[in-house]
Amino acid sequence: MKYQFLFLLAAGALALVAVSVAVGLASDNDALLAPARMILLLLGVALYLLPSALAAYRDCRATAWIIALNILLGWTVLGWIFAIGWAASGKVRKAPPTLPAPPGAVVTGQ
């Protein structure tokens, strides 16, 4: 998860650089609004895929099904609401239980 955050941070910085370059190159008002429209489009796509990202972040058992529902039926508001509800309340995968070391055993660090 640490690397995903760093990736998003780098992508955000790159987007800011792209927007600042586009604003600097803009010659009229319509060209000046193009970066704002691009940002709105990216925010819309991010909001649309929020249930998929939440399911992947929580490592839900039904992540593939949630992503499929989000992509195929997310455009209907009811499908998006159902997908985000499922992602927020779905069962998460658990690590297999580990057995404790027997008494007297030497446990070394990793």
Reduce the secondary structure of 36-94 to three states and give it as a string. Answer: HHHHHHHHHHHHHCHHHHHHHHHCECCHHHHHHHHHHHCCCHHHHHHHHHHHHHCCECC
**pTM listed for this prediction:** 0.59
User: What pLDDT, on the 0 to 100 scale, is given for residue 105?
Assistant: 66
- Asked if pLDDT for residue 97 goes beyond 60, the answer is yes
User: What pLDDT, on the 0 to 100 scale, is given for residue 20?
Assistant: 73
User: What pLDDT, on the 0 to 100 scale, is given for residue 1?
Assistant: 56
User: What pLDDT, on the 0 to 100 scale, is given for residue 107?
Assistant: 64
Q: Please list, residue by residue across 42-66, b when 16 or more beta carbons sit within 10 angstroms of its beta carbon and e when fewer do.
A: eeeeeeebbbbebbbebebeebeeb
Asked whether the beta carbons of 1 and 8 are under 8 A apart, the reply is no
- Asked if pLDDT for residue 109 goes beyond 70, the answer is no
Asked whether the beta carbons of 78 and 70 are under 8 A apart, the reply is no
Instruction: For residue 28, give the 3-state DSSP assignment.
Output: coil
- Among 77, 83, 16, smallest CA distance to 51 is for 83
- Asked if pLDDT for residue 78 goes beyond 60, the answer is yes
Gap between the Cα atoms of 20 and 1, Å rounded: 29
What residues does 60 pair with on adjacent strands?
Answer: 92
User: What pLDDT, on the 0 to 100 scale, is given for residue 103?
Assistant: 76
Q: How confident is the model at residue 26 (pLDDT cuts 50, 70, 90)?
A: low
Q: How confident is the model at residue 47 (pLDDT cuts 50, 70, 90)?
A: very high
